[in-house]
Amino acid sequence: MMKLSSKIQKCGFSPMRKFQSYQVAAEARGLKIYHLNIGQPDIETPKVFFDTIREFRQPVLSYAPSPGVPAYLEAVKRYYSELNVPLQQGNILATTGGSEALEIALACILDDGDEILIPEPFYPNYNTFVRITGGSIRPISTSPEEGYRYADRARIEPLINEHTRAILMTNPGNPTGVVLSPEEVRLMAEIAREHDLFLIGDEVYREFVYGGEKLTTLLELEDMAEYVVVIDSVSKRFSACGARIGALISRNQELMANAMKICQGRLCAATLDQVGATALYGVDSSYFAAVQEEYKKRRDTCMEGLSKIPGVMCECPKGAFYIMAKLPVDDTDRFQAWLLEEFDNHGETVMFAPGEGFYATPGKGRDEIRIAYALQQRDLERAMAVLASGIQAYTARAGKS
């Protein structure tokens, strides 16, 4: 019989969607579920996206240029120049979401047997993107006790070997919310340069930082032009996840020339969505301030709720819209199943993303969960109360058994 590739067999399913069948069954029984498991913002997409698409008047919806619609590339360039990051148009390729940007970057960098360092816990879809190249992830370990920080030479350097090709970091972090300080960014850059590694920054949550200071983007490091690759997207920035428009950004000309081969191969990113995304980059910066304020409140609501639950440990995240929390339960997979099958609080329950899927090291994260605080305040408040009562009931039950 035909066999499938070893690479696809090493890939897994999304841990965020693992409990979908339980969810369907629970909803069929009439249970209301608070979704803390999916990072789908409920913030309205700026109207200008839809208005611009409605005004599109070309009779033929034709291919866009492979590197991207020029106006979109120009908009991205302008956005970066406002961050004091001068780019050329050739430094930017329009992609189908940040996902494709990372797929392309990894296909250009990783061969079978190559390794990439990623701080764990990390966004689980990185597993798929890396494994499909034949490469593998070597995790940089962190711990909830240390607030999941990873910029530490003594921890990273022993992991580098002759197979290591790159370091990938999500900044602000998903799932941890860690935001690197300028000094930490500098340190990561030095390590990458000293060991001749690409330094890939997934910065799609750039605007979601709550400490008052702007994120230090890897693209600010002028002496790192050859090493730095940035993954970007309109998905979170403008609450336009379904547009699937992102960007691959690098000043490494050889990398970009090779990435262009893939861009030509797949022809282009969606034309209309690029037109809409271009308009998004025209929204006033007050938009970000309002969104940031809203998410900050949501974060604080969650943190307040979590702080009241005995035995829960979590650091207040500095960015993105996730909280990684350690729960006083044996196994958050089992706890999630129980919450959907055996528990309810006034007809309601919660879903989160169990922590194990965010780790590469077997067994790690089993008592952790990722919470996405992408819901309205009042729903988050209620979700925290439901979670608290769930933890109480589950641990009481476990104590008895």
Shortest Å distance, C-beta 367 to its own copies: 25
Under 8 Å between Cβ of 201 and 228: yes
* Residue 161 binds its own copies, judged by CB under 8 A: no
Under 8 Å between Cβ of 120 and 141: yes
Under 8 Å between Cβ of 384 and 396: no
Stretch of 29-37, 111-119, 144-152, 153-161 contacting its own copies, by CB under 8 A:
111-119
Tell me whether residue 39 or residue 144 sits nearer to its own copies (CB atom): 39
Q: Contact with its own copies (CB under 8 A): which of 36, 92, 262, 302? A: 262
Question: What is the token pair recorded at 209?
Answer: 């930082």
Question: What is the pattern of x (binds its own copies, CB under 8 A) and - over residues 272-291?
Answer: xx------------------
Positions in 226-245 near its own copies (CB under 8 A)? 226-227, 239-244
Stretch of 86-94, 107-115, 295-303, 354-362 contacting its own copies, by CB under 8 A:
107-115
Q: How far apart are CA 181 and CA 381, in angstroms?
A: 30
Q: Please state the φ and ψ torsions of residue 313, each to the nearest 5 degrees.
A: -120, 125
Q: Contact with its own copies (CB under 8 A): which of 92, 167, 268, 383? A: 268
User: The sheet that has 353-354: what strands, in order across it?
Assistant: 322-326, 368-372, 353-354
Which class for 328: exposed (0-12), middle (13-18), buried (19 or more C-beta within 10 A)? Answer: middle
Tell me whether residue 132 or residue 313 sits nearer to its own copies (CB atom): 132
Question: Partners of 298 in the beta sheet?
Answer: none
DSSP 353-382: EEGGGG-SSTTTTTTEEEEE--S-HHHHHH
Positions in 117-146 near its own copies (CB under 8 A)? 125, 127-129, 132-134
Question: What is the token pair recorded at 307?
Answer: 């702080």
Positions in 167-226 near its own copies (CB under 8 A)? 196-198, 226
Tell me whether residue 45 or residue 392 sits nearer to its own copies (CB atom): 45
Stretch of 76-84, 271-279, 295-303, 344-352 contacting its own copies, by CB under 8 A:
271-279
Q: Contact with its own copies (CB under 8 A): which of 28, 62, 310, 362? A: 62
